[in-house]
Amino acid sequence: MSKTIRIGGASGFWGEAVSSTPQLLQANLDYLVYDYLAEITMAILARMRAKDPEKGYATDFVTGAMAPNLKAIAKAGVKVISNAGGVNPSACAAALRAEIEKQGLSLKVACIEGDDLMGRIDDLAARQIHDMFSDAAFPDPKSVGSVNAYVGGFPIARALARGADIVVTGRCVDSAVTLGACIHEFGWTEDMLDELSGGSLAGHIIECGPQATGGNFTDWRLVADTIADIGYPIAEIAENGDFEVSKPEGTGGLVSVGTVSEQMLYEIGDPQAYRLPDVTCDFSAAKIKQIGDDLVAVSGAKGYLPSATYKTCLTFQDGWRIGHLFGFYGEDAEEKGKLFAEAAFTRARRILKMMGAPDYTDASIEVIGAEDQFGARRTSAASREVAVKIAARHIDPRAAGLLLREATGLGLSTPPGLTGFAGARPKPSPVMALFSFLFPKEEVEITISDADGVERMTGGGDVVQTAPVPPAEPVADLSGDMVEVPLVDLAWTRSGDKGDSANVGVIARKAEYLPYIWAALGEDTLREVYGHFAKGRIERFLLPGANAMNVLMWEALGGGGIRSLRNDPQGKGYGQLALTAPIKIPSSLVEG
């Protein structure tokens, strides 16, 4: 506990605000870490590389985050780690080195590669691999745009040990940019599983930037006046893996038990089996405690042996999609909008049939402003102003484009109230779908290249998995004087995606609320809330350390990512849908 390191989370996605870097450079840090990658991002970067072999990385990492701040980074001695390399880390590293030379600096850049398995596509296809979630067959190799193994933090630590000031990686897991720094600084080894889990949790908390400091927070009104100046998260990590979360002084936002707990539950699936390349994490007993203003302590993460495989994600072209929003206002706007959308599909399908072409592989009509997202739990009266979203997927881009041509052609035939603000009619875009599988670590060679040469690393062989004991379910006493209150009075929520699965984390505001939340949010209630979205099984997991539960819904996002036609293809708003769910609780717990 004598040594700690301070790491600032400066980016949570490709497109993050570049103002984070100068803000965090004022906070006396040891490291700045940047996470740019998601499954959707990999698909986009793969398309960029297909058009230009020198592209395929997050260009604004070089031009926006680094170029204006390199001199300050060098002066402060802050080290930088980023997965901005995407599907082309060597090109990213080359652009960064050119910028460093241009500014007359002497920062050493290391590039980590080996996660990209695109060159082995024929071998992978020959293995007859199936998707680890859907069991779908391996896609046509000619349709594949990218194949990347999710690697871990040990190569990053090795790059730092070789003297790197800036480390650029391809597709490592999001938290590895933080974990790699911890491994290097503390000398953690592969058998220090609890420490590796704690460092991974620290990385998970700060990997999404201001989502840990008030962004997307259930109690958003607490930060409403300061969002424009929101602070980015800082994790001060100790040698045992425990850490504290804060933000730069004088910045907006909030660091609280609620903001940090929401981020801990973000997209973790089973909290006792959060599988990473370096460790299998168990966050079920992790405790989150407020120890000061905008200062939270996190402890108690446990670790188990990792798998002998890397999770590997492949993107492939799966037809074409198109969509557009059309506005309607006036009395009965919702009904008019639906009639218009259905007529567009009727006309387009009629033409496809005449041409002998197949039907759309997927179609979507959503009326935004009419509580379509709430399904059977809709409560609003008929809306007088809506946006009607129509979208479709097809194997042929001409058939996809036909839908909007026919919708536009209805402009003089539709019920009154059609309006819109748009330029040219959207064009069909390729659908890059996700295919996930496990690949042996021992068959993946990771390379670390810098000014001193190239070093190679490979993963280990088989390991024995140890499963933690699930926590006992809490028991709610429903025999006394009970009242019914909405979930929002008792809990915070945070939601997100993993492929076609949706996660909804629910954190009790007080420990004594958890048994009643657990009792109320059974599968029947969850089906009522999410049944119009979730087509697969629903699982529930307990995190008693944080007084929380996580809900995992399979086949809940219409295919997920770019494949989905939904208005919320990543389930980012799903947590909001649960907040009105009624919870029965003793009146004595809510009085006052």
DSSP H or E run through 531 = none
Residue 563 has phi, psi (to 5 degrees) of -70, -30
**Tokens 């800082």, located at residue:** 234
pTM of the model as a whole: 0.95
Identify which of 155, 145, 167 has the alpha carbon closest to the alpha carbon of residue 445: 155
Q: Please tell me the distance from the alpha carbon of residue 514 to that of residue 476, in angstroms, as a whole number.
A: 9
**Could you tell me which residues come within 8 angstroms of residue 449 by beta carbon, excluding any fewer than 6 positions away?**
90, 93, 110, 111, 113, 455
Q: List Cα–Cα distances, 388 to 264, 328, 333, 391, 422, in angstroms.
A: 35, 7, 10, 10, 14
**pLDDT score recorded for residue 463:** 64
Amino acid at 443: E
**pLDDT score recorded for residue 464:** 63
Q: What stretches in the chain show pLDDT beneath 70?
A: 1, 461-465, 592
Q: Please tell me the distance from the alpha carbon of residue 252 to that of residue 19, in angstroms, as a whole number.
A: 13
Q: List Cα–Cα distances, 275 to 269, 437, 581, in angstroms.
A: 10, 13, 31
Q: Please tell me the distance from the alpha carbon of residue 46 to that of residue 526, in angstroms, as a whole number.
A: 37
Q: Please tell me the distance from the alpha carbon of residue 91 to that of residue 101, in angstroms, as a whole number.
A: 15
Q: 26-42 burial string, b = 16+ CB within 10 Å, else e?
A: ebebbbbbbbbbbbbbb
**pLDDT score recorded for residue 592:** 56
**pLDDT score recorded for residue 50:** 86
Q: Please tell me the distance from the alpha carbon of residue 94 to that of residue 59, in angstroms, as a whole number.
A: 12
DSSP code, position 485: E
**Could you tell me which residues come within 8 angstroms of residue 219 by beta carbon, excluding any fewer than 6 positions away?**
258, 492
Q: Please tell me the distance from the alpha carbon of residue 446 to that of residue 457, in angstroms, as a whole number.
A: 5
CATH of domain 320-433: 3.30.70
